Structure 1
């Protein structure tokens, strides 16, 4: 009798414990990710605004920046009164109350902070470009191969847009035919400077101007388009030619304000032309992928397909490209590839980051693709500043 009672009670207890464990697991899967923001400049604060629109996925716990005025600005954002503010990212990570961290700091600090975030067991959203140099990129790849339960997502956010997934689908399907040229620009008309009240903070605030901290226009702007081509074709450039200079603003900067790259993807028979400048904003963001059957002209939030005239027997030849029942052709003979503009790419990227944290799968923009793009950027800058052709060596494959 006592034995039967004992077995019954222990069975209920075991079942209760099992149910409790299952309930905890379910709650953990559904709970918001506790996240901290390291770097509260323009990009960091922009990410904070995005995360504030995703309360079911992310709960901001803490913010960190070495500059007091940036911390103050971050804390003024809605919800900021609840966040703990730090000037030391190590102290922030040692608090052990985070599931994940965003690193949005000057490029030269990406690697050391990433190492510490990973060592603390946190998931990591690391802004582009992934690392400052090649050695750091390859080291992060080695490190993450040992960290199967952690997610490292790189902030090439535009490739997460439904627009760019549609582009990949069209190219994989052969809609553009043989692709041999890509033309990309990201232009602006301005000195790219932030005001600095204290001259001692010049390099901390305007780090993009100095080569010890920054990869310049190639890393900050063109890396997005270089990354997309790498991902689109699962490839990297193998020849790098470039030219440029400080042609607009002679203000003591070291990174070029006018650059042009020509990258060769020999295995594809593809040439990529990538340019950026600070002296004219007419083109702004421009991205054209050219094949024997047509051209894709892309912005960050919309795109148009222009079929080659020789393959257009009727306008219905591309029916279905936009996903709409009625195709609306523009005056230049193009058709939208999506029926409406997409949202901010950063929101799509963080929606995916949340999913990858929960399911443990590899993000599309991961440590391998991030390394491939970081290496491409580094080699492009080598060609740019040396004025010599640079090639991708076999030992660089991440």
Structure 2
């Protein structure tokens, strides 16, 4: 893609973002995305980022940062040399590289850190950044424990620095359009959200001769990850909280190592029910041995359903009248019609197969937009409104789900959380 083609694509993407939020009150729909979409270029005044972690996800972030108009990569860091080399291949040869994040911070020349490391390292690396006067963008989930999630928020405030967590769906035009239409009442009162993230692979990566299994497969060990809950569920829990306009009251669930019995410590199959006020529910499943239903959310209201991952909205259809009920109504009205002796008195209530209506597909990676928003937040020293609260609640909810499965009992929402 040429620079001109890229800029045209970018403008088209930003137009979709603004169209998705316009007309319903931008502040109510997504004030963070509105700020990001209005980011302006500032040659010579780009926010200088130091990226910690250049594995698969870190390199995806690097590619998106390089597309932004207000951020630049000033340094890279990874303790695993092969990953660092792959990261360096994406950036200007003049970009400095380090094996230790503290050395990178001490070298100076940065405005903010981007953290894309194993979950258990997030909190300390964020603390080190804040204490050095740097802003922090961190991958989801926030941290390995609820206490560390709260401590990250507290430390960012104490140092008066921006803390932003990477929930890219909050910048996606399709989700923003969905949120707008929910607020307009198009699908009625939401009483249930069903979400799933199903894959059919072991999640285990081949370990090179120069690495350890814990180094490469950290997602499979309890000390460094909550597995499916923090690596996948946290995405969709954020969507659930966002569309239900609150955090859950409690969660029950069951987890098991059901299929991949290879020494892993985290569940490969989880099923949970999060309960919200008014009896509303978020039902979540994730597994690693069947990909038929993939990654999806079904936001179910009294008038319709939104399937955000598929970019579709469906209106409820009138219920079928059973044959005996129809005959009873005919008698009451004095109407006559032929009644087949062998006719069906019951119809299976199969899924609605109407095509629905498109919510709009984004052809652009919204990860770029969230970094432009982060750049604006760093410039102003003011976090994007509402973003951190969404991320904090999603991380807490994912870790509470882990607790509920481990204990085999319902776990209520903590009362001692940091106010965000």
Which TM-score band (shorter chain)? 0.7 to 0.9
* Alignment correspondent of 2:11: none
Equivalent residue, structure 2, for 1:388: 409
SS of equivalent residue, structure 2 residue 155: helix
TM-score, reference length from structure 1: 0.82
Q: Aligned-pair distance for 1:392?
A: 1.1
Native 8 Å contact 2:47 2:379 kept in 1: no
Equivalence map 1:357-368=2 (5 Å): 357-364=378-385, 366-368=387-389
Cross-structure match for 2:343: none
User: How far apart, in 2, do the equivalents of 1:310 and 1:99 lie?
Assistant: 57
> What is aligned with 1:137?
149
Aligned pairs, number? 348
1:335 and 2:357 matched: yes
Please tell me whether residue 174 in structure 1 is matched to residue 185 in structure 2: yes
Whether the 8 Å CA contact 1:74–1:80 is kept in 2: the answer is: no
Judged with a 3 Å threshold, the aligned counterparts in structure 2 of structure 1 residues 231 and 61 are, in CA distance, closer, same or farther, namely same
Do the aligned partners of residues 76 and 27 (structure 1) sit closer, same or farther apart at CA in structure 2, a change above 3 Å counting? closer
Displacement after TM superposition at 1:200 (Å):
5.6
Shift, 1:171, TM fit = 1.5
1:188 is displaced (CA, Å) by 0.9
Q: In 2, Cα distance between the equivalents of 1:385 and 1:350?
A: 36
Q: How many angstroms does 1:122 deviate by?
A: 1.4
Distance 1:348 1:212 in 2: 32
The superposition leaves residues 112-138 of structure 1 with CA deviations (integer Å, 9 ceiling, x where unpaired) of: 000011111112111000111111112
The residue aligned with 2:4 is none
Q: Which of 284, 298, 315 is 1:288 aligned to?
A: 298
Equivalent-residue separation in structure 2 for 1:68 and 1:103 (angstroms): 17
- How much has 1:27 moved relative to structure 2? 10
Alignment partner of 1:70 out of 83, 96, 103: 83
CA distances 1:199-240 after superposition (whole Å, capped 9, x unpaired): 861101100000000011011011011012223333111111
Equivalence for 2:49: 35
Are 1:273 and 2:283 counterparts? yes
Inter-CA distance 304–178: structure 2 relative to 1 (3 Å threshold): same
Instruction: Note if 1:306 corresponds to 2:318.
Output: no
**Structure 1: unaligned runs, 5 residues or longer:** 1-25, 312-329
Q: CA deviation at 1:367?
A: 3.5
Distance (Å, rounded) in 2 between the aligned partners of 1:105 and 1:46: 13
| Aligned residues of 1:187 and 1:276 also touching (Cα < 8 A) | yes
Could you tell me the TM-score, scaled by structure 2's length?
0.78
Q: What is the CA–CA distance in structure 1 between the aligned matches of 2:153 and 2:245, rounded to whole Å? A: 17
- For residue 204 of structure 1, the aligned residue among 212, 215, 227 is 215
Kept in 2, the 8 Å contact 1:131–1:137? The answer is yes
CA distance in 2, matches of 1:98, 1:268: 47
For 1:276, what is the secondary structure of its paired residue? strand
The answer to whether the 8 A contact 1:61-1:84 is kept is yes
Residue 170 of structure 2 corresponds to which residue in structure 1? 159
| Structure 2 residue runs without a partner (length 5+) | 1-39, 320-351
Deviations 1:17-71 (A, max 9, x none): xxxxxxxxx99796111111101111001111111222x3222111101111111
Task: Tell me, in whole angstroms, the C-alpha distance in 1 between the residues paired with 2:43 and 2:229.
Answer: 39
Relative contact order, CA 8 A, sep 6+: which one is greater? Answer: 2
Contact kept? 2:298, 2:308, Cα under 8 Å:
yes
* RMSD, matched Cα: 2.2
Q: Aligned to 1:82, what secondary structure does the other structure show?
A: coil
Q: Secondary structure at the match of 2:416?
A: helix
- Paired residue secondary structure (2:142): coil
Q: 1:43 to 1:353 in 2, by over 3 A?
A: same
Within 5 A, what are the aligned runs for 1:206-285? 206-265=217-276, 267-285=277-295
Decide which of 93, 106, 112 is 2:118's aligned counterpart: 106
Over 3 Å counting, the alpha-carbon distance change for 1:68 and 1:289 in structure 2 is same
Moved more, 205-214 or 376-385: 376-385
Q: Among 358, 374, 385, which residue is 1:353 paired with?
A: 374
State the Cα distance separating 1:283 from its structure 2 match: 1.2
Change (3 A) 1:356 1:239: same
Check the 8 A contact 2:249/2:413 in 1, yes or no. Answer: yes
Structure 1 residue 181 displacement after superposition: 0.7
Between stretches 161-170 and 197-206, larger displacement belongs to: 197-206
